[in-house]
Structure 1
Amino acid sequence: MSNQGMLYAKSHEWVQFLDETTVRVGISDYAQSELGDLVFINLPEVGDEVVAGEPFADVESVKAVSNVYSPVTGIIKAINEELLDQPELVNSDPFEAWFMEVEEISDRVELISETEYDEMIHNN
């Protein structure tokens, strides 16, 4: 999967709309490189509700534990169970290594284009 059509949250998650009311969410390449080698990922359960702007998962790297924030409000349709056993997949391909799919979206944080996101991270 390419990162064409990806939108980004300012908290460094990417969002890909699968259809009008369903998205796939992961963390950006910038985020995984800042975190360093991931050793553990704690994901929510299918059927849980997530809220835009609130943490839905945490990732543990050799450096620290960090929250991952949901860019949308909705119900978790799927989680990427591969990441539970192989968190390093996020380091090797952050766009393939999605965290969750969310359906029934009722709200979202401000999402920006890849160009706007690149400008944001390079101006920090």
Structure 2
Amino acid sequence: MTTYYSKDHEWISVDGDTATIGITGYAQEQLGDVVYVELPEVGKALSKGDEAAVVESVKAASEVYAAVGGEVVEANDALVDEPAKVNDDPEGAAWFIKVKLADAGELEDLMDAAAYKAYVDTL
């Protein structure tokens, strides 16, 4: 399994042709305590750059963008009931959606962990 990162602070973990997408620890820190998560319906087609989900915290509301295109095959509905899970484990159990990749070539535009850390260090 390979994990990629976007400049919009999403992580994308790829296993075969399925990508699991969530927000990074850095994004969660910037948001503060997450109090609401809205996820797309299973079956929704997303293009790279589309709004994939909405996350709200005590500080702000923010969109989660699709770093890669594909069809939503699973949504982490536990986050709708317990959005605070994002505060505890943003890069693990608090994943947002799983998509069937439409074009694995889109992954080439993303960063690996070292490049993402270097990017965050410039912010």
TM-score bracket relative to the smaller structure: over 0.9
Letter in 1 for 2:62: S
Residue 100 of structure 1 is matched in structure 2 by: 97
RMSD: 1.4
> Residue 69 of structure 2 aligns to a residue in which SS?
strand
Residue 28 of structure 1 is matched in structure 2 by: 24
Letter in 2 for 1:60: E
> Residue 20 of structure 2 aligns to a residue in which SS?
strand
Asked whether the equivalents of residues 42 and 84 of structure 1 are also in contact (C-alpha less than 8 Å), the reply is: yes
- The Cα shift of 1:105 comes to 2.1
TM-score normalised over the length of structure 2: 0.92
Report Cα offsets for 1:25-55 as digits up to 9, x if no partner.
Answer: 0000000010000000010000001111121
Picking from 60, 64, 73, the partner of 2:60 is 64
Cα distance in 2 for residues equivalent to 1:5 and 1:88: 26
The question of 1:119 aligning with 2:118 is answered yes
The aligned length equals: 120
Asked whether the equivalents of residues 28 and 95 of structure 1 are also in contact (C-alpha less than 8 Å), the reply is: yes
Letter in 1 for 2:4: L
> Residue 70 of structure 2 aligns to a residue in which SS?
strand
Asked whether the equivalents of residues 31 and 59 of structure 2 are also in contact (C-alpha less than 8 Å), the reply is: yes
Q: Which runs of 5+ in 1 are unaligned?
A: none
Cα distance in 2 for residues equivalent to 1:18 and 1:83: 22
The question of 1:37 aligning with 2:33 is answered yes
Asked whether the equivalents of residues 32 and 90 of structure 1 are also in contact (C-alpha less than 8 Å), the reply is: yes
